[in-house]
Amino acid sequence: MALLSFKKRDTTPTTVNPQVAALLQDYSIEVMPRTAAKVENFRDLLPAGTRVYVAHLEGTPIEDMVATAKRLNDDGFAVMPHFPARIIKDKATLADWIARYSGEADVKQALLLAGGVSEPEGDFDSSMQLMETGLFDAAGFTRLHVAGHPEGNRDIDPDGGSQLVDEALRWKQDFSNRTDADMALATQFAFDAKPIIKWADDLAAAGITLPIHIGIAGPANLQTLIKFAIACGVGPSLKVLQKRAMDVTKLLLPYQPTDVVAELAAHKAANPDFNITHVHFFPLGGIKTNANWAIENGGASARPANHS
């Protein structure tokens, strides 16, 4: 009688690329109230002190946003809710949101952006108008992040150029220079490191020195990723996904951001002054899946005291 032979499972830890691990330190991640509600315990997934952005989609009640922010803050995370200008009715509504976040959830930082709707629902059209109200400073908010677009934004520059985006970035840089706000650019996700690197270098050459928290799409199946990429207006780097979709050997395998992160990390290691300072994850394939990928690639140890 033949004996069954069982191969022992390899429990050797995966080798971690030290350059990738360095770039992943103090990474951030984005959630929505409905996705956060599916996570039983964030402390099992994320390093203590991780910055968690709470995305505010049109139609989400402010009560759900604040409750999610409070839960995350109570669990020891640095919470950064979105303030989409075009869905905020007026200055009184903005003041109410700020007061709720500050008073109920102890939030002192925010991502300010125009928002995904094409027509403003109220008095605000841009993040700059939100900043000009002075309400964030008055409420003791110490950190304001604004949007960056490595591949442009046709909602702002319909011709595919970057004139209006660049003008807005110069205004935000000036705002940072003349105020006490700690600021950074949190960007849309992209899939090709080369245009990201060129964009970041071009900003620095133009005097835009705000630190860049580069948007990276977390692991997800290819169909999900392409759907989100098209909906979010991802530009030339979408070709990376299209090329992958044409490769039958990779078509059914989940996408992982290993290549783009490794190339950015190598560039950062060779150019320490490179102004991409952090990675910001969009967990399109799920928060747990994204968090596990970060841990496996060296992102398990955050720097809680260093949220620059």
Residue 171 lies in a domain: yes
- What's the domain range around 73? 18-296
Which residues of the chain carry a pLDDT beneath 50?
Answer: 1-13, 157, 248, 301-307
Residue 7 within a domain:
no
Whole-number pLDDT of residue 229: 66
In a domain, 79, yes or no: yes
The pLDDT assigned to 206 comes to 93
Q: Does residue 36 lie within any of the structural domains?
A: yes
- Predicted local confidence at residue 64, as pLDDT: 98
DSSP string, the chain: -PPP--PPP--PPPPP-HHHHHHHTT-EEEE-HHHHTT-S-GGGTS-TT-EEEE---TT--HHHHHHHHHHHHHTT-EEEEEEEGGG---HHHHHHHHHHHHHHH---EEEEE--S-SS-SSS--SHHHHHHT-HHHHTT--EEEEEE-TT--TTT-TTS--HHHHHHHHHHHHHHHHSS-EEEEEEEE-S-HHHHHHHHHHHHHTT----EEEEEE-SB-HHHHHHHHHHTT--TTHHHHHHHHT-TTTTTSPB-THHHHHHHHHHHHH-TT-SEEEEEEE-TT-HHHHHHHHHHTTTT---TT---
Q: Assess if residue 123 is contained within a domain.
A: yes
User: How confident is the model at residue 43, as a pLDDT?
Assistant: 95
Within a domain: 234: yes
Q: What is the predicted pLDDT for the residue at 242?
A: 64
Give the model's pLDDT for residue 305: 40
Task: Write the single-letter amino acid at 265.
Answer: A
- The answer as to whether 10 is a domain residue is no
Q: Is residue 304 part of a domain?
A: no
CATH of the domain at 47: 3.20.20.220
pTM of the model: 0.87
Number of domains in the chain: 1
